[in-house]
Structure 1
């Protein structure tokens, strides 16, 4: 019988592979669009690297080597089940955000030629549902990997990216869309309806 630790590791790998496969076609299409604003250099690349370390590199080290062993704890069936549920929610939300954005999507602080502000579908009530999906993915990692370092690394890594990037991103959108973005921001939540 497979242990919960092994199952959690396998599900995390499946989640990351699914995440990549969902994003791949959108990434290929988005790369073809001409950019009018590109703030990917410097600080944003550092933020992305820190997020990748927490959401990718540290958990892979744990999955492959079991390190750091001192930070491991007994796997819990309830946490494992919650991890499955948050993982499914993360994938569904991730897919919906990419579908809504189409070519307007970018991994970094960029605006495309003829960029449009998306305010419908999944973006009707939440301005940054892709960040919500990433928070859910980081939470899934914490629930599936019973290791304080590897499990929590995603929340720390993505948390750094989110809290250091959200203001520059919204400033970029405000600069590009002016009053349209002001009105949109006034009627929506950042990442979680009725909370934040």
Structure 2
């Protein structure tokens, strides 16, 4: 019988592979686009690195080596089930956001030469559903990996990126789209409907 620790590690790994498979075609296409605004350098590169450490590197070390072993605890079937639901929900949300954004997608604070404000699909109600998906991904990691370091590392790493980037991103969108973005903000939530 498969252990819950192994199952959690396996599902985390499959989740990361699924995320990569969903994102890869959009990333390749985005690299070919000319940019009107590019704020990836400097602070945003640091934010992305910290997020990668929490959502990728630390959990991968745990998944493949079991380290740091001192921080491990007994897994729970309930946490595993909730982690699975969070992970699947994150992948569905990733797919919806990438589909809605199409060629407007970018990994960083960038606007394409012919950038349009996307307000359809999942973006009809949420301004930043990609961040919602990452929050779910980080939550899935915390629930699936029974380790006090590797589990919550995603929440901390992505949390740092989110809270330090959301203001500059919205300022960039306001500057680029003016009144259109102001109107859009009046009837949408940032990442969580009816809450935030």
What is the Cα deviation at residue 103 of structure 1?
Answer: 0.8
* DSSP-derived class of the 2:36 partner: strand
Per the alignment, residue 65 of structure 1 pairs with 65
1:136 counterpart = 2:136 = yes
Deviation at 1:64, TM superposition (A): 1.3
Q: CA RMSD in A?
A: 0.5
What is the DSSP-based 3-state SS (H/G/I as helix, E as strand, rest coil) of the residue aligned with 1:188? Answer: coil
Q: Hey, what does 2:179 align to over in structure 1? A: 179
Which residue matches 1:95?
95
Task: Judge conservation of contact 1:97–1:122 (CA < 8 Å) in 2.
Answer: yes
Residue 152 of structure 1: aligned partner: 152
CA drift of 1:33 comes to 1.2
Deviation at 1:32, TM superposition (A): 1.4
Cross-structure match for 2:163: 163
Q: Structure 1 stretch 72-81 or stretch 23-32: which is displaced more?
A: 23-32
CA distance in 2, matches of 1:158, 1:110: 19
Give the aligned partner of residue 56 of structure 2: 56
> CA-to-partner distance for each residue in 1:110-141, whole Å, 9 max, x for gaps?
00011000001100010000000000000000
**CA-CA distance at 1:108 after TM superposition:** 0.4
Q: Secondary structure at the match of 1:37?
A: strand
- Where structure 2 has 5 or more consecutive residues not aligned to the other structure, the ranges are none
What is the match of residue 7 of structure 1? 7
**What is the distance in 2 between the residues matched to 1:99 and 1:144?**
27
How far off its partner does 1:38 sit?
0.2
If the length of structure 1 is used for normalisation, what is the TM-score? 0.99
What is the TM-score with the length of structure 2 in the denominator?
A: 0.99
> Which runs of at least 4 in structure 1 moved beyond 4 Å after TM superposition?
none
Task: State the 1:14 CA deviation.
Answer: 0.2
Secondary structure of the corresponding residue to residue 108 of structure 1: coil
Assess if the C-alpha contact under 8 Å between 1:134 and 1:158 holds in 2. Answer: yes
Corresponding position of 1:47 = 47
Question: How many residues get paired?
Answer: 196
How do residues 19-30 of structure 1 correspond to structure 2 at under 5 angstroms?
A: 19-30=19-30
Counterpart-to-counterpart distance in 2, 1:63 and 1:84 = 16
Please list every run of 5 or more consecutive structure 1 residues that lacks an aligned counterpart in the other structure: none
Whether the 8 Å contact between 1:30 and 1:102 is mirrored in structure 2 is no
3-state DSSP of counterpart to 2:37:
strand
